Amino acid sequence: MISPIDLEIYWNRLISITDEAGAVLKRTSFSTVVRESNDFACVLLDTEARLVAQSSLSIPGFIGTAPLSLKAMLKVFPKETLQPGDVLFTNDPWIGTGHLPDATMATPIFYKGKLIAFAIAVAHLSDIGGRQWSADANEMYEEGVRFPVIKLCDAGKINDFVFQMLEANVRLPQQVRGDIEAQMGALRVAERRLVEMLQEYGLFDIDEIAGAIFKASTDAALRELKLIPPGVYRGYVESDGFDEKVVIHATLTVSADGITVDYSGSTPQVRYGINETYNHTYAYTIFPFKCLLSPDLPNNDGFTRLFTVIAPEGSIVNARAPAAVGARHLIGHQLQSAVFDALATVLPDRVQADSGTPLWSVLLRGVDAENGKSFASILFFNGGMGAMRDRDGPPAAGFPANISNTPIEVAETLAPVIFGEKRLADGSGGQGKHTGGLGQVVSLRSMWPGRLRVSLLTDRTRIPAKGIHGGQPGRVGHVYLNDEPVSNPKSVVEMQEGDKLELALPGGGGYG
């Protein structure tokens, strides 16, 4: 039996291993999506595909999908067929994180000839081909190249054909290849450091450590779960949708040993790219419980095993292939609102009002017709978080995605735009005993000599973030082009040189 002191040492060592892998990925990546916005994750799992440790910068969506992805990968390449140096790869939305731009990679870790663990690195690539990352595609085939589960490396030998396919189908081949190789570097570091740990402590595997971590996490979560009386609780959240609003219903069934979340009754899948896949829905359903019950506990299977997520196939939270899913985060980032709404009466001290989510994503792409020069750049912006019983909502905060805003200095260096302003949106937070977090206003002007195509992945421009316990809703956002409202702020718009784009992000709801 592992003593509490030894467990703390081992646990922190595993987290430091994933943190070092994450630092390698962040520092060696080519794109601002990873390097500046931290849209990635590095995790360690045991041989049963159970999450053991995560890097501190990992985003919730990738942490939650990783175990599901690995289980699906091992159905294609069973454990007994794997060997040192293998790297499994996929970007299939129904196996990975829910849309094509995310590359999920896993490598088996061996020690003294025995499989002891898996490392996974996930990153959002700057391009994956297709018509252009956007919310208005009609099917997945428009959204880019899909790779089933394949071996990117076989016993250490790189599959050059995969890179040839990618580089022939993406607009930024150097960036995409650079980020994938950064992921591979992160996996190698995780593998090397875990083996070093076993050698240093005289261990042969991590099975006993993982078991102790799982038990400690389960025990801690179950103690907090007692705060919720057993029963059935219902909540909902309304989203702008695309043509029509989307309603997500969440029914929580709470017992002494776990929680089931059922999304039955939610809006059916739609023809545009805001549909969710099950994996992403699962990840952003368990995350709000992490915030409520165990905010200081490192994420692992000991916590996540307490939750069951039911998402009816064919609904917007579990769309059937080949539905368009490119902007699935516009729905996924709002699932926490439905969970908080359901628990508002029984956990008033812990829930928060609705946030000015989801994360707004803006993709800029231009091609100069005269010389063929082109560029593409992705910018992220956050609205205000919802207020809580004891504090105002933070302004322009990355919740629940944990993805950072893109610094202006970086954006202006890599894209032909000049920012006019970037400020907090005064008065955008919902009023109450505590005020919702402020959104932000960002304006930029195109300096590109030709046509600039801009994908707008936005929400809450029609339906505001709800207040809670009497708090007022936040203010909706807007998108203006040359001071005129954009009729569909989930579309692709065109800018000419000198045109001005203004984004006003929504504020969070008030509390009380």
The pLDDT value recorded for residue 468 is 96
Could you give phi then psi for residue 308, rounded to 5 degrees? -120, 130
Amino acid residing at 122: V
Per-residue pLDDT at 421 exceeds 90? yes
The answer as to whether 129 is a domain residue is yes
Indicate the DSSP class of residue 489.
T
Q: What angle do CA 436, 441, 447 make, to 5 degrees?
A: 160
Mean per-residue pLDDT for 22-31? 96
The pLDDT value recorded for residue 404 is 87
Mean pLDDT for the chain overall:
96
The answer as to whether 277 is a domain residue is no
Per-residue pLDDT at 509 exceeds 90? yes
The pLDDT value recorded for residue 292 is 92
Asked if 212 and 357 sit in the same domain, the reply is no
The strand pairing partners of 232, in sequence order, are 253
The answer as to whether 35 is a domain residue is yes
Burial per residue of 48-74, b for 16 or more beta-carbon CB atoms within 10 angstroms, e otherwise = ebbbbbbbebbbbbbbbbbbbbbebbb
pLDDT-above-90 percentage for the chain: 93
| 230-234, 412-416, 503-507: segment of lowest average pLDDT | 412-416
The pLDDT value recorded for residue 369 is 66
Q: Which of 88, 99, 96, 152 is nearest to 128 (CA)?
A: 99
Q: Examine the fold and report which residue of 183, 216, 249 is the final residue of a domain before the chain moves on.
A: 216
Q: Examine the fold and report which residue of 188, 216, 244 is the final residue of a domain before the chain moves on.
A: 216
The four Cα atoms 410, 415, 418, 422 give a dihedral, to 10 degrees, of: -50
- Output the pTM of the full model: 0.96
Per-residue pLDDT at 406 exceeds 90? no
pLDDT tens sequence across 315-324: 999 999 999 9
32 confidence band (pLDDT: 50, 70, 90): very high
367 confidence band (pLDDT: 50, 70, 90): confident
Burial per residue of 320-351, b for 16 or more beta-carbon CB atoms within 10 angstroms, e otherwise = eeebbbbbbbbbbbbbbbbbbbbbbeebeebb
Higher-confidence residue of 372 and 178: namely: 178
The answer as to whether 146 is a domain residue is yes
Could you give the residue ranges of the DSSP H alpha helices within 203-348?
207-225, 278-293, 301-304, 329-332, 335-342
The answer as to whether 291 is a domain residue is no
Q: Which domain holds residue 358?
A: 352-512
Q: Which of 489, 438, 441 is nearest to 465 (CA)?
A: 438
pLDDT tens sequence across 133-172: 999 999 999 999 999 999 999 999 999 999 999 999 999 9
The answer as to whether 431 is a domain residue is yes
The strand pairing partners of 104, in sequence order, are 90, 122
Per-residue pLDDT at 454 exceeds 90? yes
pLDDT tens sequence across 199-221: 999 999 999 999 999 999 999 99
The answer as to whether 480 is a domain residue is yes
The pLDDT value recorded for residue 265 is 98
Write out the two tokens for 498: 């000198």
Q: Examine the fold and report which residue of 162, 193, 216 is the final residue of a domain before the chain moves on.
A: 216
> Which bin fits 402, alpha (ψ -120 to 50), beta or left (φ > 0)?
left
Number of domains in the chain: 2
- Specify the 3-state DSSP secondary structure of 326: coil
Per-residue pLDDT at 371 exceeds 80? no
Per-residue pLDDT at 429 exceeds 90? yes
The pLDDT value recorded for residue 373 is 72
pLDDT tens sequence across 464-476: 999 999 999 999 9
Amino acid residing at 173: P
The answer as to whether 499 is a domain residue is yes
